[in-house]
Amino acid sequence: MHAKGYLDLMRRHGLRVTPQRRIILQLLEERRGHPDATAIHRLAQERDPRISLATVYRTMKVLEDLGAIQRHLFEGGPARFENADTDHHDHLIDIDTGKVIEFSSSRIEKLQEEIADRLGYEIVHHRLELYGRKKRQE
């Protein structure tokens, strides 16, 4: 999903495309990391100083409701956002730098399903986060 896709998505839902939203969407496009609201706000303000933090939060909420982004609450920090157009994956967070590495394991997913099933539950969603530190030498 590229910039056009985001905008189309919003238009399709009868939402207005304002300059603020245009800038925020563009930023999320260009920097596909796991920024928090403050980081997005800072970058957005470089392009238009009028953009408020409230608008950033409101825009992220809209995108989240549309299923276009995901909100992650990693340990001890503000919410971080990520494009939702990639396949499902989990996260390894570098506890020294805050850097996020994505990974996925169908074997783990399968085991999770089995466990939930055994307990009589259907998984609606899950959260697997590894907090680690870079090894010295491989």
Partner DNA sequence: CTCACTGCAAACCTTTTGCAATAGA
Partner DNA sequence: TCTATTGCAAAAGGTTTGCAGTGAG
Which residues of this chain interact with DNA, rule CB under 7 A? 10-11, 15-21, 36-38, 50-55, 57-59, 61, 73, 78-79
Q: Of these partners, a second copy, DNA, none, which one is at the site of residue 21 (CB under 5 to 8 Å by kind)? A: DNA
- Cα 60 from Cα 67, distance rounded (Å): 10
Instruction: Say if CB 64 and CB 70 are below 8 A apart.
Output: yes
Instruction: Say if CB 56 and CB 79 are below 8 A apart.
Output: no
Pick between residue 22 and residue 128 the one whose CB is nearest to DNA. Answer: 22
- Cα 77 from Cα 71, distance rounded (Å): 12
| Choices 36-44, 54-62, 81-89, 122-130 (CB under 8 A): range interacting with a second copy | 122-130
Instruction: Say if CB 104 and CB 88 are below 8 A apart.
Output: yes
| Footprint of a second copy (CB under 8 A) | 73, 75, 92, 94-95, 101, 103, 105, 107-108, 111-112, 115-116, 119-135, 138
